[in-house]
Structure 1
Amino acid sequence: MTSRERIASVDTAWLRMDRPANLMQIIGVMIFEGRLDPERFKRTVSKRMLLRYPRFRQIAEQNSDGAWWVDDENFDIDAHIRQSLLPSPCGKLELEKFVAKMASEPLNPSRPRWEYQLVETADGNSAVVVRIHHAIADGIALVGVLNSLTDDKPDAPEQGGLELPSGSDPGAEKESEAENFFWTSIAEPVTDLLLASIHVGGKLWGQYQGLRNDPGTLLDYASVAGAIAAEVGKLAMMPNDSTTRFKGKPGTVKRVAWSEPIPLPQVKAVGRVLGCSVNDMLLSAVAGALRGYLVGKGDAVDGVEIRALVPVNLRAADSEESLGNRFGLVALELPVGIENPLARLYATRERMEALKGSYQASVTYSILSLAGMAPGFLQQQVLDLLASKATAVMTNVPGPQQARYMAGVKLKQQMFWVPQSGSIGIGVSILSYDGQVQFGLITDKNMVDDPEAIAERFALEFEKLLWLVLMEPWARLADPAAVEKALLE
């Protein structure tokens, strides 16, 4: 018998959010040291992902009765795991172009909305390009799904690995707690409010169902609209951030680039000297890279503030292995207008501290949940409002801190990006793995046609702080103006 399950309201919001210029799919790339055996890779996915997560065998259907997960009676794994060829010379540039091409193509709605593209590179290695629709799960959950396909040694049995939690391995979880990675560092204070948000959403869903079952009732769409208006009011008063080339009318063509990894121990060491967290260091590097790009284009940067929407994990401890979307968004203003790298770092630290204890994450979760119950036109208005307040979407997630192996081949690098919406033209990915930090970007061609010019600046921005720690007396580093004056003498 075919299984049928109602899609949660927040997941319905993501399902209905697809637009030709903004496809609601999470896209990632995993680069391996060596060739992946296609048949073994397929068996690994079948035994570990499809058996453990039935959602990947289901189609998302929408009709007059709502949105539903329905078993795909004609499921064929070969329609979801494909082999593709890169054009010569099959290097990093060609792989980046291939990932961008995949980011611009919609997933087939008549099948479960996920796909793995296995490609071979000229250096004898392999890469897997991942596409999964946001309605299935958020990026935090999907990192766990991908981790469940890996092992801590190359000769692990194919059926193994199912004991790995859906987040990261134990080492990564400990690492994230110790270093206060962004997605966990501000989630704790909002747990109670999140439960209240879920309660509100559930209550409104019951009212909506009452309307459908009893058209004569006084409860109608207005009750949903009123609840959304109350939640959105505070965010609506938030001023727009600075106008830059990173924001505008999106097109259907995307661009992708990623940097070479930075050693995580170096980031930690410099952060300890400067009294800043790993997060502070990485986010400051992002602000510096965006600033450097704008300066290189001849754009004005004085006083520029770029607001990034950052997903924050709101999963309860006992729901680590569940799919779906359980995250809120917080708005972080990157001090792009500050030239002094130390001053920019300390400003970033101050803004991060201000976000701790913020209720933004659970408020936006509630908004997304309520929007999924509302008529499509109202949902779009709400989402356009949120998007108008920001320039970028930025994910910052800790991955495993030991090397992992998939189908017997070592995973060398991994990146993933969540989709943008509205006029947002840039997505930033920060992911730590195996003692390194990886930066990546996805951009809209209409706004940023050369994201590699930003990606290559990430390491340079960190190196500025590294050299200051190596060359300047540590006591002076607390005063950015004093350091700047000393360097000019």
Structure 2
Amino acid sequence: MSVPTPDADGLYKRKLSGTSLFLAKGAMPEELNYGDPIVSTLLWSTQKFEVARVVSDMQKLADGFVRMHSVPEGNRWKKVEGWTSAENVKEIQVSSEEEIWEFVEAKKTESMSNPAHPWWEVFILNSSSSRSLALFRVHHAIGDGISLTAIFCQILCGEDGMPIGLEAIGKLSGSSSSSSSSPRRKKETQYGIGTALSAIAKIPKVAMVPKGPFDTETAYLGPAPERRKAESSGKRKTVMLPSFSLEAVKKIAKSSEVPEGVTINDVLLSGFTGMLRRYCEFMGDDLFQYGSGDRSCCCGTTFNSRALVAFAMPRSPDELRDPEDALRNAFTFISCPLAVLAKKPLQRLTLTAASVDALKRSGEAFTAFNIQSFAQKTLPEAEVKKTGVGLLSRHTCVFSNVPGPQFPVWAFGNAVDEPGFIYPNVCQQVALVSYNGRICGNVCLDPEVVERSDVLGAFLLEEMQELAGEVGVPPESVLFSKDDPAAAMLEKLVASRKETVKYETVARPVAAAAVVAEGEGEGEGLRSRLGKSGAEGAGVDA
């Protein structure tokens, strides 16, 4: 497909979608100090990168896709004349992997170096004593995770040196091979009609989420009054999670001990949920002494703990190759309950899978996407941003899982050792990616809220290993590498479970705490915390 020709003013005909325009203008109110929505993609290699090869490959993408050589102007994309990719590629010499991480952490909340250039840049951090890194930073207005992964398939190569193509990541594109007369297609069509009707019925529920209750305060999540302000402290820390064997996760999902239809994503989401519970127990959060496996607490008040799960709208292979259509933002968020109160890993997985399946069947993603599109086209910009903040600040985290190629690939001429991506957000952002038989990822969080983030990876590993043991999968097969730092941390934690600190909630009144201390009115402290997130949080604008 050839790139279309812009008009005399350099403007392309296709307009930005509501989501892309919303992101281009800054997704958050300026006074909240969140900066531009920048996605950082990390490509690690055991070899040094050649700058000339990076420049050449990025020029191919710039020549082939409108948004890679343009900047937003109004609601259109404008070609940047006289520009080449070399102006957006910079090499930085470093002495260690620690120095690389220092650079990444400092850069992740910064705006683009030159906003007059196309809104992406690559930093090459070559080290002679450790792994090297190609850091690709891109403004979210250019595209979502699926579209960015799709265009990179044109420069990522296999062992034979040929581009891997979209076929390497089948989940990225919608299937076009099924015949409309096949029994399966007829069943899908009937299911689609039911989903559409359900989606219409979900409009009131979905529309009220940004103005609904806040998630319950826990040791992992700050008090609702602070989240209601939604002001950025400017501090975000990237916490690396242990890498898991994709094959072991698949075996857990397919085990006869788990409900039929459990997916890899269900296993990962339940693992993250278990990590949260273990962290709260470790921090001495008394709320988790009363778990009953459902969403009710001992004092009869509703407990809220939810993740915003990213749902991307399906698109065809032709769309993902189109110079104008490939890069786009066609995604939404769905609020999914986290089974944090469930006491056992298998119970958490069962409840998680049921919640995710119900969301898929409900049509809420379709409803949310259309409400989102309508709001972005009709409401004032300030109101749209306020709604976005309200949605994010009311949830525990955003959870995303991007599928990657399951064989070794080469980027810019180098074998990719490990990929990843980082996105600072209003709430905590979980970013997972699967590649070459492993699942790796990170959590981008506020270190002032999660005080002991150093133990998160160990608790995630412990949760996944216990889950594997419950369903008959060897626990030792879960961890991708025995040298993972999470393994050593877990051994340390297991050896000294007494290393706990008491989490003192800001929301608990002093008087109520004193009553509990005297052995009277048990549960008052919990009730005050739950009330802050439940009844008192409902209907409050962010």
- Once the two structures are superposed, the pairs formed by residues 109-258 of structure 1 within 5 Å of their partners are 109-121=115-127, 123-153=129-159, 156=161, 161=163, 164-165=165-166, 169=168, 233-235=207-209, 238-244=212-218, 245-247=220-222, 248=227, 249-258=231-240
* Cα distance in structure 2, aligned partners of 1:332 and 1:133: 27
Say whether residues 1:339 and 2:343 are aligned partners: yes
- Once the two structures are superposed, the pairs formed by residues 8-407 of structure 1 within 5 Å of their partners are 8-16=17-25, 17-18=27-28, 19=30, 20-21=33-34, 23-47=36-60, 49-62=61-74, 67-86=75-94, 88=95, 90-91=96-97, 93-107=98-112, 108-121=114-127, 123-153=129-159, 156=161, 161=163, 164-165=165-166, 169=168, 233-235=207-209, 238-244=212-218, 245-247=220-222, 248=227, 249-273=231-255, 274-275=257-258, 276-302=262-288, 305-317=304-316, 318-321=318-321, 322-373=326-377, 374-407=379-412
Deviation of 1:340 (Å): 1.6
Contact 2:274 2:345 in 1 (8 A): yes
Partner of 1:462: 464
Structure 1 unaligned blocks of 5 or more: 177-186, 201-228, 473-489
- Once the two structures are superposed, the pairs formed by residues 477-488 of structure 1 within 5 Å of their partners are none
Deviation of 1:437 (Å): 0.9
Amino acid at match of 1:314: M
Residues 230/342 of structure 1: CA separation in 2 closer, same or farther (3 Å cut): closer
Partner of 2:294: none
Residues 436/112 of structure 1: CA separation in 2 closer, same or farther (3 Å cut): same
* Cα distance in structure 2, aligned partners of 1:438 and 1:189: 37
Structure 2 unaligned blocks of 5 or more: 1-7, 176-187, 289-296, 298-302, 475-542
* Cα distance in structure 2, aligned partners of 1:471 and 1:232: 38
Deviation of 1:470 (Å): 4.4
* Cα distance in structure 2, aligned partners of 1:172 and 1:471: 26
Please tell me the root mean square deviation across aligned C-alpha atoms, in Å: 3.2
Deviation of 1:413 (Å): 1.0
* Cα distance in structure 2, aligned partners of 1:189 and 1:31: 45
* Cα distance in structure 2, aligned partners of 1:193 and 1:134: 33
Deviation of 1:173 (Å): 6.1
Residues 133/190 of structure 1: CA separation in 2 closer, same or farther (3 Å cut): farther
Three-state SS of the structure 2 residue aligned to 1:363 is helix
Instruction: Show CA shifts across 1:365-397 (max 9, x none).
Output: 223323333322221222133224312111112
Deviation of 1:114 (Å): 1.0
Residues 243/112 of structure 1: CA separation in 2 closer, same or farther (3 Å cut): same
Contact 2:109 2:424 in 1 (8 A): no
Partner of 2:449: 447
Residues 231/342 of structure 1: CA separation in 2 closer, same or farther (3 Å cut): closer
Amino acid at match of 1:306: S
Give the percent of matched residue pairs that are identical in Structure 1 and Structure 2.
Answer: 23
Residues 236/129 of structure 1: CA separation in 2 closer, same or farther (3 Å cut): closer
* Cα distance in structure 2, aligned partners of 1:453 and 1:2: 54
Deviation of 1:192 (Å): 7.5
Three-state SS of the structure 1 residue aligned to 2:361 is coil
Residues 22/427 of structure 1: CA separation in 2 closer, same or farther (3 Å cut): farther
Instruction: Show CA shifts across 1:123-167 (max 9, x none).
Output: 4432112211111101121122233221111x52xxx52x713xx
Contact 2:62 2:85 in 1 (8 A): no
Three-state SS of the structure 2 residue aligned to 1:332 is strand
For normalisation by structure 2, the TM-score amounts to 0.69
Three-state SS of the structure 2 residue aligned to 1:271 is helix
Residues 449/404 of structure 1: CA separation in 2 closer, same or farther (3 Å cut): farther
Deviation of 1:191 (Å): 7.0
Deviation of 1:55 (Å): 1.0
* Cα distance in structure 1, aligned partners of 2:403 and 2:473: 30
* Cα distance in structure 2, aligned partners of 1:457 and 1:260: 10
Contact 1:441 1:451 in 2 (8 A): no
Three-state SS of the structure 2 residue aligned to 1:150 is coil
Q: Which has the larger radius of gyration?
A: 2
Amino acid at match of 1:263: S
Residues 192/415 of structure 1: CA separation in 2 closer, same or farther (3 Å cut): farther
Three-state SS of the structure 1 residue aligned to 2:142 is coil
Contact 1:11 1:372 in 2 (8 A): no
Contact 2:278 2:459 in 1 (8 A): yes
Deviation of 1:261 (Å): 1.6
Residues 138/343 of structure 1: CA separation in 2 closer, same or farther (3 Å cut): same
Contact 2:207 2:371 in 1 (8 A): no
* Cα distance in structure 1, aligned partners of 2:194 and 2:52: 47
* Cα distance in structure 1, aligned partners of 2:69 and 2:473: 57
* Cα distance in structure 1, aligned partners of 2:431 and 2:156: 21
* Cα distance in structure 1, aligned partners of 2:424 and 2:407: 28
* Cα distance in structure 2, aligned partners of 1:194 and 1:103: 39
Three-state SS of the structure 2 residue aligned to 1:325 is coil
Moved more, 50-59 or 293-302: 293-302
Amino acid at match of 2:101: E
Residues 85/288 of structure 1: CA separation in 2 closer, same or farther (3 Å cut): farther
* Cα distance in structure 1, aligned partners of 2:266 and 2:447: 29
Deviation of 1:284 (Å): 1.0
Deviation of 1:278 (Å): 1.6
Three-state SS of the structure 2 residue aligned to 1:135 is helix
Contact 2:80 2:118 in 1 (8 A): yes
Partner of 2:511: none
Moved more, 96-105 or 407-416: 96-105
